[in-house]
Structure 1
């Protein structure tokens, strides 16, 4: 079936164009309909505008992974901005925007038969839900109101597309009680005076409104390495789009400022607590000095000891500094080890050598975690990742503090040794003075800690007083000059293109759905069996259409089939041609009669014999009187063959043998020896023997006669023979159950001047344009 596959892959462009040309009115109507639909769409649709806003996200020094040097390059710098995009798109932010701008209510006003307009601010009718309804409402409730000029309205309430209540002749303002609660419907100051209004108001909950906003608002990083977030929204109302974006940015900044203030307030409270403790300790040290001086009678350092004291002053300063740092390390380490402050800011430690930068980074991560915690759930992936990063960094800082603390102790011990050596040189200095200096040194350490905490408290107070938004507005919401989407010309062009595409698609689908072939080309694409020719349905119901002087297209087609048949019958003894089909009604007998007549016109001795003994139709078609037939001969071979033959007066060279009466045992008669003896004799008398046999799709008689045949003409009919029948014919051909099979395609569409200008068709007349359209 290689040839069939190749044919099926071949696309007959000329044939397609011819088919489309015949259906030109389909294309015209389709283009007109699509064009009108496009014009209607342009008329009722409203232009959509794209609104943009750009925000620069401030990232403080040491924020995120940048403080870890090379790790920032590994993990990228956009992680922090992506977290902020999550915050901007968070449900809580959008919920507050929906609440503040009232977008949980949508107003649609009908302005024409098919025209509806979205109203954002100036709407004629409003619905006021009872307090608390919008907080918990999880569906959309619509109020379709037909309001008359006198303030009387008919209102239909639907939820999830289903009608739940209907209120007629309601005087506005009207309170409507539904299963979701009470709603008040009233006219607004923007209601057009003296006019009727048809409007629909959709009311939903804050949560659903936030979800709707999440689908409308798009946010992304402006470029790969930037800290700019680009926001956009598309809406038919420019003001609606601008208000939404500006409100989102305002909500984001307000939340950021509130979060910073909350953290700074916690830090200030902690510093105040520590100041109170250090202040008490400092007062106690100063009291100890006072008591010691009073008990020892010390007023001032003797001038004699000033020189010796200068020798040890440098060691003393170093020791004080080391002890101060050691105390800071201890306080910081104790703070980190307190489980209740595991995720609090570290107020001290930035002065510790080798650990200060890590503590700054740790504080930034804590602030980032607190910010995410307010907007994300506990199982949020970003929150979990950040918590793990904080825990790892806390462990690292603890390790560094332990190491720093040990190093500090060693340094203090070394400095103490140096100081003791210097103190030894003061042999003449009273013991009281050495004790006084120890007390004084402890007082100075606590004083420095006290001053340090005072400084941090002032810094925190300044942060509270000067809270800066995280999002610096680069561009407030602005509208692009041109509407988005397709323009009018593009819509019309697409409509015309669709109008041109619909007819071929319909024709193709129609072709897919039919189960019968229409043209000879389709048959040739479905089979390898040679096609002798085709026959158009243009013979006006007459069975014998071939005559000696007839030049009609039908006669010419039979002459073409005759020529092809004679070429196929190459051997001199090839005389017997079986005529068959798959089922009755495909024109087998008609082809048999006229092919026999066409052969007889060549002065050949031709016999047309009816062997369809189960359903004989030959005598009926030729209006022959009852005569001795084949079945009678097969049942009684003593009958002379000449008694079977009927001479056709209009065709001198054509003889006819009819089937005769229907026998009770047709199968046995056709398989008997009488058939072979009959055709041996007939071969001697005639040049061609056309055998009209039974359809092979119904009985096996034709297969029984294949032994006496030289060739087989299989008739199939357009718009009658099914594609399954073609498969059946192919199986017969491939199994070689019939000899020298060929096809004749019957019932194809007639064409004016059929063929290459040969033949004439008197039935074709000129028709006006309307007649040609309706005939198609």
Structure 2
């Protein structure tokens, strides 16, 4: 019970120092950390020494709202929100179309570099007069040329085809070549500043350059309620970066202005096109109006209507007059033909023919004169006859005159009627003509008003085109930082320090995690905390003297097994009654874990303190004790005793060590064909019982438990079982088997001993501090 309490206490102490042990576990590899730190710091120094200096260039712009100042205050105005979608503007700024314009504007697909001893640095322009011969759109694949400035001229190499060109007098103009550029010395730069320098000229396609620039330029909004954007770019050349950002802002502004101008320009173009059609339509309408007037004999509708009515009235009046004259003529003719010769004709009845009126007057005078002569001279008077002849002639003349006048009147009447009908028809056509003419005038007015409106709109569009507002306001032009943003010494050195610690830590962590082998006592405790660890045997595989053959030896081997022998007593059960020897089994999971080595040295450690110790080689399948003590394996031993009932086990005892007089050994003997049957035939139990009376400790080197059942068959005879596990050899999963053996009681009073522990992993049992084994002595 006391031992068990001590064991539990020990495990609690171990649990409380897990963190400390884990740290110590890594600190054992401190040279790795030191070497990695040195390498990382040297790498950081070399990186800082030769890494290109990267500068950040930024600018700020404000996106102008086109509708600003034209709208009434809205909720956006009240809550200080902008109507501009900055995400859309950011996408436009970083669009391929804008980037391509910037590339073309600055000819960025042609880049220049200065080659140094360690690194090559990009520069803004060549310190030479440079003329590009190849068109940007003609570059379909990358081209690179190296220009070496020598004392007597240029040496140019095509880095793609490795073709070389030599030019004297520092000019490419004096020789025919197929290079895509011409260069010569600049008058503004002294030759001494560029002598023996090497420059690289690269030509890249427009598309790849624009896409590369698109990836480099960063645009972000400044604040949540702001309409400001920050443009930034990182590069080696501050001058080039500033040019790029300034050009980008200009191109973006021009693009916005062009979009705004586009409306005005399209308006002007549309109006100009409409002017052509409107002019043609107005000409057609005016021609139609002219034709209409000519066709209808119209000067002015109102005047022509008034004149038509007046002419119609005059025509009707004339017609009435003619009809009246015709009636009077007919009445006069009727009166002339029906009256007797003595009747006078009516005079001045309204006939407008003066000839007829004169004849009537003359006729009436002739009739009166005749009548006077007839009354005074008689009817047969020649004068009367002459007067009657005169009357008859006048009557005949009047009759002919009336007929002629009547014919004239009838002709005039017909003409008057025709003219009257014409005037009446013209007057009746006036409403229709007026309607048609008004329709023509209406079309003319519509086209004229549209023409005037378009003329006004063209002037307005021309004014808007001339005074188009910019789309952005440049708050800050491109500015570059004084100090490079990369590399940063503090961050690089901090990263080197961190990497110097994390890299070996990570490697060790992976090693520990992937390592399925047993490494230390902690691995056993994690699997089976109820089984104590009573000893850790350091790894002495490089030493020749690995056997505790000198009782007074102070070597690390001797000390480690002295500790083990001392701890073995704590796991042995207390003795009641007559004192007999203790039986301690030494076993393991598989062969090669060092159970024979431990059992031999444990027996020697117990013998060194004047205890009587018997070491029995019970591993009948693979005996190894004879190898450690340099004995012939064919000597009689345990197998001979078990097989031969007449064989006395005492005759098999050998003295392996002169300085250990109380130490005896029974070898395994010849390898039998049936070890399990021999161990269970009762003779081994008899041997143990007899040895208990003669020895203080019986150490039994048994067979591995995983491979064979030999040990389990005789496990009931043991007072304690030392289960050997070898560091960096035993699989951790095998420990579960020993745990099951302990829990099932198939092995009695188990305690672990870890063999082959590295000196840096070894501990004094239950003390928690390292022994420094050093040299023997």
Name the TM-score, length of structure 2 as normaliser.
0.67
1: CA distance between counterparts of 2:483 and 2:708?
75
Q: Which residue of 2 aligns with 1:276?
A: 279
Q: Equivalents in 2 of 1:200, 1:443: separation in Å?
A: 73
* 1:36 corresponding residue in structure 2: 42
Following superposition of structure 1 onto structure 2, how do residues 111-190 of structure 1 map, counting pairs within 5 Å? 111-112=116-117, 114-123=118-127, 128=132, 130-131=134-135, 134-135=136-137, 137-146=139-148, 148-153=150-155, 155-158=157-160, 165-168=161-164, 170-171=166-167, 183-184=180-181, 186-187=183-184, 189=186
User: In the alignment, what sits opposite 1:417?
Assistant: none
Confirm or deny: 8 A CA contact 1:55 1:475 kept in the other structure. Answer: yes
Q: Secondary structure at the match of 1:464?
A: helix
Whether 1:688 aligns to 2:692 is no
The equivalent residue for 2:711 is 702
Do residues 292 (structure 1) and 298 (structure 2) align? Answer: no
Deviation at 1:747, TM superposition (A): 2.4
In the alignment, which residue of structure 2 is the partner of 1:580?
587
Q: In structure 2, what is the Cα distance between the partners aligned to 1:264 and 1:757? A: 93
Q: Assess if the C-alpha contact under 8 Å between 1:278 and 1:449 holds in 2.
A: no
* 8 Å contact kept, 2:581–2:691: no
Partner of 1:363: none
Is the 8 Å Cα contact of residues 600 and 651 (structure 1) preserved in structure 2? yes
Correspondence 1:496-507 to 2 at 5 A: 496-507=497-508
> Alpha carbons of 1:530 and 1:753: their partners in 2 closer, same or farther (altered >3 Å)?
closer
Q: 2:204 & 2:49 partners in 1: Cα distance? A: 30
Quote the Cα distance in structure 2 between the aligned partners of 1:442 and 1:586. 117
Q: Give the SS at the match of 1:121.
A: coil
From 104, 108, 117, the equivalent of 2:109 is 104
Is the 1:56–1:472 contact (alpha carbons within 8 Å) kept by the matching residues of 2? yes
1:467 counterpart SS class:
coil
User: Among 742, 752, 775, which residue is 1:764 paired with?
Assistant: 775
Question: Residue 487 of structure 1 corresponds to which residue in structure 2?
Answer: 488
* Deviation sequence 1:505-548 (CA, Å, 0-9, x none): 34334444555444333443444332111122469544542765
- 1:629 aligns with 637
- 1:61 aligned counterpart, secondary structure: coil
The separation in 2 between residues aligned to 1:640 and 1:436, in whole angstroms, is: 155
* C-alpha spacing 1:90/1:216, structure 2 compared with 1 (3 Å): same
Assess if the C-alpha contact under 8 Å between 1:581 and 1:714 holds in 2: yes
Q: Does 1:214 align with 2:219?
A: no
| Structure 1 residue 236 corresponds to structure 2 residue 224 | no
What is the distance in 1 between the residues matched to 2:594 and 2:626?
Answer: 15
Q: Deviations over 1:689-737 (max 9, x none)?
A: 2111233455443333334434321222233434455455456556654
- The separation in 2 between residues aligned to 1:543 and 1:552, in whole angstroms, is 10
Give deviations 1:628-665, integer Å, cap 9, x for gaps: 31111112112223323346764454432221222344
Q: Deviations over 1:588-614 (max 9, x none)?
A: 223212322344456654321111223
Q: What's the offset of the Cα at 1:28? A: 4.0
Q: Distance in 1 between the 2:44 and 2:772 partners?
A: 45
What is the aligned partner in structure 2 of residue 715 from structure 1? 724
Alignment partner of 1:596 is 2:603: yes
Task: Give distance in 2, aligned partners of 1:559 and 1:671.
Answer: 33
Q: 3-state SS of the aligned residue for 2:647?
A: coil
Q: State the distance in 1 between where 2:595 and 2:253 align.
A: 89
Per the TM alignment, residue 450 of structure 1 is displaced from its structure 2 partner at its CA by: 4.8
Conserved 8 A contact 2:555-2:776: no
Partner of 2:65: 59
Q: Which residue of 1 aligns with 2:461?
A: 460
127 and 707 in structure 1: CA distance in 2 versus 1, 3 angstrom threshold: farther
Q: Report the Cα offset of residue 252 of structure 1.
A: 2.8
Task: Tell me the distance in 1 between the aligned counterparts of 2:59 and 2:299.
Answer: 67
Change in 2 beyond 3 A, CA 1:584/1:242: same
In the alignment, which residue of structure 1 is the partner of 2:479? 478
Q: Give the whole-Å Cα distance in 2 for the aligned partners of 1:41 and 1:760.
A: 43
- What's the counterpart of residue 399 of structure 1? none
The change in CA–CA distance for 1:617 and 1:250 in structure 2 (over 3 A counts) is closer
Is 1:661 aligned to residue 662 of structure 2?
no
Among residues 620, 641, 644, which one is paired with 2:649 in the alignment?
641
Structure-2 residue corresponding to 1:87: 92
Contact 1:124–1:191 (8 Å) recurs in 2? no
Deviation at 1:581, TM superposition (A): 2.5
C-alpha distance in 2 between matches for 1:759 and 1:219: 60
- TM-score, normalisation: structure 1: 0.67
Q: In structure 1, what is the Cα distance between the partners aligned to 2:590 and 2:758?
A: 21
Question: Aligned to 1:214, what secondary structure does the other structure show?
Answer: helix
Larger radius of gyration: 2
2:617 paired residue among 585, 590, 610: 610
- Conserved 8 A contact 1:268-1:461: no
What is the aligned counterpart of 1:565 among 564, 568, 574? 568
Distance 2:62 2:768 in 1: 81
SS of equivalent residue, structure 1 residue 616: coil
Unaligned runs of 5+ in 1: 159-164, 176-180, 299-429, 767-776
Report the Cα distance in structure 2 between the residues aligned to 1:552 and 1:753, rounded to whole angstroms. Answer: 16
Change beyond 3 A, Cα 1:734–1:167? farther
CA distance in 1, matches of 2:245, 2:768: 75
Alpha-carbon distance, 1:103 to partner: 0.7
1:126 and 1:216 map into 2 onto residues whose CA distance is 26
5+ residue gaps, structure 2, are 1-8, 308-429
Once the two structures are superposed, residues 200-225 of structure 1 have per-residue CA deviations (whole angstroms, 9 ceiling, x without a partner) of 33211111111111111122344444
Report the alpha carbon displacement of residue 129 of structure 1 after superposing the two structures with TM: 5.5
CA gap of 1:42–1:651, structure 2 versus 1, over 3 A, is closer
CA distance in structure 1 between the partners assigned to 2:43 and 2:694 by the alignment: 73
CA 1:609–1:202 in 2, change beyond 3 Å: closer, same or farther?
same
Find the aligned partners of 1:759 and 1:81 in 2 and give their Cα distance.
67
Cα 1:643/1:30, change in 2 over 3 Å:
closer
Deviation string, structure 1 residues 36-91 (Cα, Å, up to 9, x no partner):
32222222234333222333333333999x899889999x8556544443333332
